[in-house]
Structure 1
Amino acid sequence: MRLLVLGGTVFLGRAVARLAQAAGHDVTCLARGESGGAIDGVRFVTGDRDRPDGLSAVDGETFDAVVDVTIRPSHARHAVAALAGRVGHYSFVSTCNVYPDDATPGQRADTAKLHDPAPPEVDNPRDGQMDMYGPCKVAAENAIRDGIGADRVFLCRAGLIVGPEDRSDRFPYWVARMRRGGEVLAPGSPDDLVSFVDVDDLAEWLLLAGTTGLAGAYDGAGLPMPRSRFLTELRDALAPDGTTLTWVDQEFLVEQDVRPWSGERALPLWLPLPEYAGFMTRDTARSVDAGLTARPIADTALRTADWMQAFPQDVKAGGLVADDEASVLREWHVRSV
């Protein structure tokens, strides 16, 4: 397969390029080259997708498949204008943020309501408009599907992507926390559901889609699992002997100004219920049937830990620092007596 990766220098795009090369595909990555390095042995060409002619480096070339991860609708429109008629299959990595309903569990990609697409004047949600992230992805989905043809476009609406080279503080927080050991603050209830997808599993699925011509909208997210399973398997893979989990209910965490999901004083992968009960509980059975696989949590955890140790400068600081966690746990034990 002759594959064009629009990006290919960081995280998911880089994993796609690496795995495609290892599988023997002919891979070209097109990017500015400012966010990361190309995979050794993969052809790299420079292009600035902010420009309408940003894909001119591959003018006249044909590709069996394209993988595109952009968040900007203008990038999608430029790509369609440049590549329509020269690509066999187009995979666009969208996001589960295209869905406005975060509260209803068990939603499906083929039936769930979408945000309205972003208006033309909104093109980059990183410019202080992250509430437009989902609408921008919807606009990009529409441009690609309309320009390439629905029967040749795979819309992969990714959930939380984790694994090596994850420069967020979400999954890496828990890897670092388990490696430190001791008493670990576990947020919410053991039965609360969480969901994520390993970056290499998602990359393999994108390659499968390109080789088989998979089309339509699917959620690129793992099957939901109880938080107790997630944390227990992480502990078993990473933690020193004697590490324990102490479950602290969400009302107390809110009272103690512990924040959800990501950032300073946060407990990553924890979201308030019931308003976010649907965020990590999507029905992904269709995706599994279409070839998305999930490796053991321990595999993802150990590979992530190895990357964090090898590249500490790339690991984002965030989450509940040790002193704050200990303070919250002390207060919880006092209240529980």
Structure 2
Amino acid sequence: MRILIMGGTLFLGRHIVEAALRNRHEITLFNRGLRNPGLFPEVEHLTGDRDSNLSSLNGRYFDVVIDPSAYRPGQVESLLDALGAMPKHYTLVSSVSVYASFPPGPRYDEKAVVLTGDVGYGALKARTEEALQRRLPDQNAIVRPGLIVGPHDPTGRFTYWMRRIDRGGDVLVPGRPDRPLQFIDARDLAEWIVLLTERSISGVFNAAGATVQTSMAQLLDCCVAEAGREVRLHWMDDDAVTAAGVEAWTGLPLWIPEDHPEFGGFMRANNDRAIAAGLTFRPMRQTVTDTLVWSREVPDEPASPVKVTPLSAERERAILKEKNDRSPGGADA
């Protein structure tokens, strides 16, 4: 099968290419040639800019398109206009950020209300979905991941905890130990996206992590075991972390106060439809181990527009010292 992959050399796209190659598909990559240009010498590379120069795609035909990099509706429209004929199937990687809110409570599914307008990442992703559905109404798969993790992750979110545990010492941890997390290994997501493509499966799917959610304590215990460092975890409840001026999600990645009226339920996506369509998950330990190994090989994540800027070591120490000073007897429980 001839597959056009938009991007394909950074994170999720990279894993999609690897999964498609394992299944012996004929791959063409279209990107600007700026990131990891030496990757995948065995596939066809087309250079261009999807916002301004699609000439290398003019008149070309591909059986399917896998698009992990469209952020605006015009990007889908112009791509389809450039091709010589419509593909048989088009898989668009969107995001759960298209939903209007994530209040605490029941898990949300694909029928949840999406954002309106065309301002902001989530709203533009929603309009991009609509553009594809207009052009190929019966030949598209809309994949809505939540937090994507694993080797080659450029965002620093999940990897923050790998690196922090690997440094050892006293670690500030937000929220309660049983706070649920939801994330998906990019390799599991990539393999499933290729499966959707091969089977021409259409529809809208949340792809946000295992049905049985992992807790923050389980994740960190796994990190400690795999890193083999001397670590002391200091748990602080949501109110205390907020009072310390820590910014949710970016100041301490993977943390959002559970009672937040708009985002408290962010990590509670229902992905039963995706599982019914073949999505599977590897053990968390494998994700942690492989991400830790990669993080040790790469001194810092690649540049990314969504990279987080977590607490500095100095700020973490100051918050922990203040917490310790307030504890009875001056000792942290």
TM-score between the two structures when normalised by the length of structure 2: 0.89
Paired residues, number: 318
1:293 aligns with one of 280, 304, 322: 280
> What pairs with 1:149-298 in structure 2 (closer than 5 Å)?
149=137, 151-223=138-210, 224-240=213-229, 242-262=230-250, 266-275=251-260, 276-298=263-285
| CA–CA separation in structure 2 for the residues paired with 1:21 and 1:13 | 12
Alpha-carbon offset, residue 77 of structure 1:
1.2
Which deviations, in whole Å up to 9, do the C-alpha atoms of 1:29-86 show, x marking residues without a partner? 01111233242312111122113xx433233333222111211221111123234843
Alpha-carbon offset, residue 208 of structure 1:
0.6
Flag structure 2 segments of 5+ consecutive residues without an equivalent. 329-333
TM-score between the two structures when normalised by the length of structure 1: 0.88
SS at match of 1:260: coil
| CA–CA separation in structure 1 for the residues paired with 2:322 and 2:288 | 30
Change (3 A) 1:105 1:17: farther
| CA–CA separation in structure 2 for the residues paired with 1:204 and 1:50 | 28
Which deviations, in whole Å up to 9, do the C-alpha atoms of 1:178-227 show, x marking residues without a partner? 11122322211112111111111111111010011111111121033222
> What residue number does 2:322 align with?
331
- Cα pair 2:155 2:301 within 8 Å, conserved: no
- Cα pair 2:59 2:84 within 8 Å, conserved: no
> What residue number does 1:40 align with?
41
- Cα pair 1:14 1:39 within 8 Å, conserved: no
Percent of matched pairs sharing the same residue: 35
Letter in 2 for 1:267: L
Flag structure 1 segments of 5+ consecutive residues without an equivalent. 123-131
- Cα pair 1:180 1:239 within 8 Å, conserved: no
| CA–CA separation in structure 1 for the residues paired with 2:249 and 2:181 | 11
User: Which range moves more in the overlay, 188-197 or 303-312?
Assistant: 303-312
| CA–CA separation in structure 2 for the residues paired with 1:84 and 1:329 | 60
Residue 124 of structure 2 is aligned to residue 136 of structure 1? yes
C-alpha RMSD of matched pairs (Å): 2.0
Alpha-carbon offset, residue 237 of structure 1:
1.8
Letter in 2 for 1:251: D
| CA–CA separation in structure 2 for the residues paired with 1:193 and 1:72 | 32
Alpha-carbon offset, residue 307 of structure 1:
2.4
